[in-house]
Structure 1
Amino acid sequence: MDKNYYELLGLQRSASTDEIKKSYRKLVRKYHPDVSKEADAADKMQQINLAYETLTDAAKRSDYDQMLDHPQGFAGGSAGGAGNQYQYYRGQEGTGQQFTEEDLRRHFGQGFGSTGAGGFGGFEDLFGQFGAGFGGTRAQGGYQQGNYQQDYRGEDQHASIEVDVRVAYEGATQQLTLQMPVINASGQQEIQRKTLQVKIPKGMKPGQQIRLSGQGQAGFNGGQNGDLYIEIQYRNTEQLRVEGGDVYLTVPVAPWEAALGETIQVSTPAGVVDVKLPEGLQSGRQLRLKGKGIPAKQPGNLYLILQVVLPPANSDAAKALYRQMAESMAFNPRA
């Protein structure tokens, strides 16, 4: 043989299955009939597919290695030429049975999938892992009379955006610019910028996704485009954070408001609310406003984390008041 299957794939005989698949994907990008500019691309692709089908099947690869280890048992032309004759000798030298290339195909594998000789069955495994626009859904079709008819749905794409918590209560339309991998006319991967207007409905919890039909990677050979899934996350701050459907808001409180249990006005993502404080509350206490969290079908709660804040002693009058309070109130917070 002019080139054995390992040489066709540019590999050593010790190559692992992962290395075989990696080399196969690289060669497909070069010789696929729909993108290759090589004159013999279709014939080359048939040889590569036969090599791939043989070497990724453990039993077939073992048989093939036996054939390579005992070349005296085989005679004839190259593995790639149609109509070549091979003679496998049995018993005494010089006597044996003639095999055509089609016989070898039947023994080592069609190399062309379920559509029979001439098809490109190996591509289903390839496109399931390619990750560059050739999505995993296989459509009807086959390789017939030298024209590759099979189409593939484009891969779904995923992106995540971070928005203000108010969007959970009001909804919004967000402009989103993505950099997405595409396959150009030469079969090579390149990055393309895409700008979309994404409508975010109110009531979405962090981690939920918006599906944009047909906005994923382009289909291959006329196949449908994949979808784009946008995951929503909310921007947390020191004062405001979201956990599931619940919202936590830190609210500063004056010492006398906390001590006397006054009613205060609080601006929340759900709007302005009046809150009656319990008397003598301490920093860190939480008040629950039921159903005031993210307004989903089952709304979350809004938790107010009350933080007592002392007025600054930045003037003589303020310092005098603090001294007066220290003298008139016997209070040791460390007791």
Structure 2
Amino acid sequence: MSKNHYDVLGISREATSDEIKKAYRKLARKYHPDVSKEPDAEEKMQAINVAYDTLSNAEKKQQYDFELDHPQGFASGGFGGQSNANGFDGFSNHQGQTGNGFGQNADFSGFEDLFGRFGQGFGGGRQQQYSQRNTQQQTSFRGEDQHAKIELDIDVAYHGITQTITLQIPTYNVYGEPEVQRKTLEVKIPKGMKEGQQIRLSKQGQAGINGGEAGDLYIEIQYRETSKLRVDGADVYYNIDISPWEAALGQEIEVMTPTGKVKVTIPKNTVYGKQLRLKDKGIPSKVPGHLYLVLNIVYPKAETEAETHAYQDFAKAFSHFNPRSN
């Protein structure tokens, strides 16, 4: 017994349209005559194309399912069967009285509707006509989009860059087997890209099938975090070390930031972790982010006798202070 279209694609009758398409693509990669080493690859590819052409079309699939459920009415020349060169064996009239394979109660009300679209005279049968059509023109599919992430220094967000990057992208080869593809591209990254935004590279994704165009490659931007810097959307948080006297007395200091050198005033009696906001100094996107200076108080080591005495004097001056009183 010959396989039906579902068997050819290796799917169940309950398969969704996405599952039908996925099964076709997998088999096309395996049996396409340009890449397959199977001796009967061309014959199998024709059967695969016929099966997909039928099952991917809702109207054709509905009719095909009806024929599967009523094999007594379509034994000679249905989608899954074969007809002789003269059309349908034994069909003598429209009453279904002597036709081979047609029951006494067969309903032929849809006869012209069912076969009229296949051209005049039924020739070598529908299966043969499907095969001829798909031999001449195989269905093509657009390749799938692919996604990758790259990690950049924060300077790129402020100035932009054009650089060559090499990506290792998981994909499938022409045989349908998973592999990692190395792809080297020259990418222009404009300034103002927020973390999580994507750059679309047209037709740099997975290759199409049967001449279909390639998919797109989407590169997601991430910025490299360091012990001093992190990014949140368009906002940048930058850890700045200050001395105890700068924190206590309040002084103006000069700080090197991603935007260049800036002068800021430390408020008097600043505590550890306090944030100073520099408005619109974050990533310069359409809506600029802010730059937050996160203050970290660093205490020098007492390595000389004079430095030790300085800490002792400091302790005497603040003898009333107990950091653990709370």
TM-score bracket relative to the smaller structure? 0.7 to 0.9
State how far apart, in whole Å, the 1-side matches of 2:285 and 2:49 are.
Answer: 55
Contact 1:289 1:302 in 2 (8 A): yes
- CA distance 1:9–1:259, shift in 2 (3 Å): closer
Q: Report whether the alignment pairs 1:219 with 2:208.
A: yes
Q: Report whether the alignment pairs 1:331 with 2:293.
A: no
2:101 aligns to what SS in structure 1?
Answer: strand
The aligned length equals: 295
Amino acid paired to 1:17: A
Q: Tell me how far 1:104 sits from its aligned partner.
A: 12
State how far apart, in whole Å, the 1-side matches of 2:134 and 2:15 are.
Answer: 31
2:263 corresponds to which of 268, 274, 295: 274
State how far apart, in whole Å, the 2-side matches of 1:227 and 1:305 are.
Answer: 40
**Alignment map for 1:203-218 (pairs within 5 Å):** 203-218=192-207
State how far apart, in whole Å, the 1-side matches of 2:188 and 2:322 are.
Answer: 55
The corresponding residue for 2:160 is 171
2:211 aligns to what SS in structure 1?
Answer: coil
Contact 1:208 1:232 in 2 (8 A): yes
- CA distance 1:39–1:201, shift in 2 (3 Å): closer
1:160 corresponds to which of 131, 149, 154: 149
Contact 2:24 2:48 in 1 (8 A): no
The corresponding residue for 1:129 is none
State how far apart, in whole Å, the 2-side matches of 1:5 and 1:290 are.
Answer: 65
Q: Tell me how far 1:206 sits from its aligned partner.
A: 0.8
Q: Tell me how far 1:240 sits from its aligned partner.
A: 0.8
The corresponding residue for 1:232 is 221
Cα deviations across residues 78-110 of structure 1 (Å, max 9, x unaligned)? 93424464622025xxxx6899xx969939x99
Q: Tell me how far 1:187 sits from its aligned partner.
A: 6.4
State how far apart, in whole Å, the 1-side matches of 2:136 and 2:275 are.
Answer: 69
State how far apart, in whole Å, the 1-side matches of 2:10 and 2:294 are.
Answer: 65
State how far apart, in whole Å, the 1-side matches of 2:222 and 2:200 are.
Answer: 15
Contact 1:288 1:303 in 2 (8 A): yes
Q: Tell me how far 1:257 sits from its aligned partner.
A: 0.6
Percent identity of the aligned residues?
46
Higher-strand-fraction structure: 1
State how far apart, in whole Å, the 2-side matches of 1:317 and 1:66 are.
Answer: 100
**Alignment map for 1:231-270 (pairs within 5 Å):** 231-270=220-259
TM-score, length of structure 2 as denominator length: 0.72
**Alignment map for 1:1-335 (pairs within 5 Å):** 2-10=2-10, 16-17=14-15, 21=20, 23-32=23-32, 38-41=41-44, 43-45=46-48, 47-49=50-52, 52=55, 63-64=66-67, 66-67=69-70, 75-76=75-76, 79-83=80-84, 85=89, 87-91=101-105, 106=114, 144=133, 146-148=135-137, 150-180=139-169, 181=171, 183-184=173-174, 190-329=179-318, 330-335=320-325
State how far apart, in whole Å, the 2-side matches of 1:182 and 1:10 are.
Answer: 19
1:40 aligns to what SS in structure 2?
Answer: helix
Contact 1:285 1:306 in 2 (8 A): yes
Q: Tell me how far 1:192 sits from its aligned partner.
A: 3.1
Q: Tell me how far 1:250 sits from its aligned partner.
A: 1.2
Q: Tell me how far 1:249 sits from its aligned partner.
A: 0.8
Amino acid paired to 1:235: R
Cα deviations across residues 253-287 of structure 1 (Å, max 9, x unaligned)? 11111111111111111111111111111112111
Amino acid paired to 1:87: G
Structure 2 unaligned spans of 5+: 90-99, 119-125
Alpha-carbon RMSD across the aligned residues, in angstroms, is 4.0
State how far apart, in whole Å, the 2-side matches of 1:297 and 1:6 are.
Answer: 52
Amino acid paired to 1:44: A
State how far apart, in whole Å, the 2-side matches of 1:10 and 1:156 are.
Answer: 25
Q: Tell me how far 1:232 sits from its aligned partner.
A: 0.8
2:204 aligns to what SS in structure 1?
Answer: coil
TM-score, length of structure 1 as denominator length: 0.71
2:51 aligns to what SS in structure 1?
Answer: helix
State how far apart, in whole Å, the 2-side matches of 1:149 and 1:43 are.
Answer: 9
Cα deviations across residues 89-144 of structure 1 (Å, max 9, x unaligned)? 025xxxx6899xx969939x99xxxxx98569xxxxxxxxxxxxxxxxxxxxxx84
- CA distance 1:50–1:153, shift in 2 (3 Å): closer
Contact 1:158 1:229 in 2 (8 A): yes
Amino acid paired to 1:89: G
Cα deviations across residues 194-232 of structure 1 (Å, max 9, x unaligned)? 111222222211112222233222334434333322111
Which segment drifts farther, 269-278 or 325-334? 325-334
Contact 2:46 2:134 in 1 (8 A): no
